[in-house]
Amino acid sequence: MKKIHLIALHVGYWLLFTFLISFVFFISQASDGFALPDTEDWIAILLFSLLTGISSFYAFYLWLVPRYLVTRNINHFVRIGVLVSLGVAVLSVLLVSLVTTVIIYIALNQWQWILFSGSDQLILLAGFTLLALVNALTGTLLRASITWYTDIHLKEQIANQALQTELALLKSQLNPHFLFNTLHNIDILIGHDAAKASAYLNKLSDLLRFSLYETQANQIPLAQEIASIEKYIELQKIRMSNEQYVSLLIDGQADGLEITPMLFMPYIENAFKYAANKKITDGICINIKISNEHIHFQCVNVIDPSKLTRENQGGIGQKLLGKRLALLYPERHKLLVKATETTYSVDLTLSLKTYALPAD
């Protein structure tokens, strides 16, 4: 809910509350002889009623509901809520007594603590308690409604973003052109080196199995993700005569760490898609550094300007990939994408979760 709407809601409620209190007071005072109440009495009752209502309302709205009700700690919410309402009512009665005492002292120059008689005090206490409870209930309902609305709206936004991201990522996982080219290259390799062709076919089979089944999980071992990247790069190298075109450097141990599957692959696929001719050295440089529970992924490729038509090198879109990271690693990632006239680089740092290693 927008801030301006929330402010209008609060202002509207207190205007309505002021009108109702004024109406009730006028009716009760005029019921005997239909005489209008004194202005001083009306202002005093209105101020004390507002003070009681505001104190109780915002005690629940700002503190009790977020602290206990939202966290489903109902017992504490009820117990503390009753105490707060009674406390506000008692303080209101004492404040009325104090103000009355001060007024009498100013008028008569006589100091006398005014504590109402038993029946008057109980009536006053009952009235303030009723006001406190009504506003406590209103504050609770308003805050709970706003929280519910915000949660529903946020969940809808997240679900929509997640759906868009998942649909886009389906296009990025193992591009069909990569599969066709790899199968064609393996077919050619069979006539020259059947054993090598068989090894590449097994790698392709493993990569397809990983893409179809392992990526269904929310988290997989980091070692498994790195293994899929290594297989992908090896399969890309089938059609390369230049061994220095692609470099992959992995530093650190992946044991015990988990990651979202296919998190780095879109960036690597885009690098191969938009990289320069394969005769140069270090056309694509991929570095993965693992330290404690953090992983630093860096992918830099030389740009081939002829492949940059209307769409940028982002491929499925850097904004969409950024949204995916924001959903999966909120406050636990740092992404820096930089493009120059000759290179395109992705620098990503993640804070990963650990899992228990099986016993030896």
pLDDT score at 36: 47
Q: CA–CA distance from 232 to each of 60, 210, 301 (Å)?
A: 57, 11, 16
**Given pLDDT bands bounded at 50, 70 and 90, which one contains residue 34?**
very low
Distance separating alpha carbons of residues 236 and 218, to the nearest angstrom: 27
pLDDT at 230 over 70: yes
**Given pLDDT bands bounded at 50, 70 and 90, which one contains residue 333?**
very high
pLDDT score at 223: 92
Distance separating alpha carbons of residues 191 and 241, to the nearest angstrom: 18
Q: Which amino acid is at 216?
A: Q
Residue 287 near residue 251, CB atoms below 8 Å: yes
pLDDT at 108 over 80: no
Section 85-105 average pLDDT: 80
CB atoms within 10 A of CB 64: 23
CB atoms within 10 A of CB 132: 26
pLDDT tens digits along 232-273: 999 988 878 888 899 999 999 988 899 988 889 888 988 888
Selected residue with higher pLDDT from 330 and 168: 330
pLDDT score at 228: 92
pLDDT tens digits along 134-167: 999 999 999 888 888 777 777 777 777 666 666 5
CA-angle at 134, arms to 2 and 25, nearest 5°: 110
Q: Which amino acid is at 96?
A: V
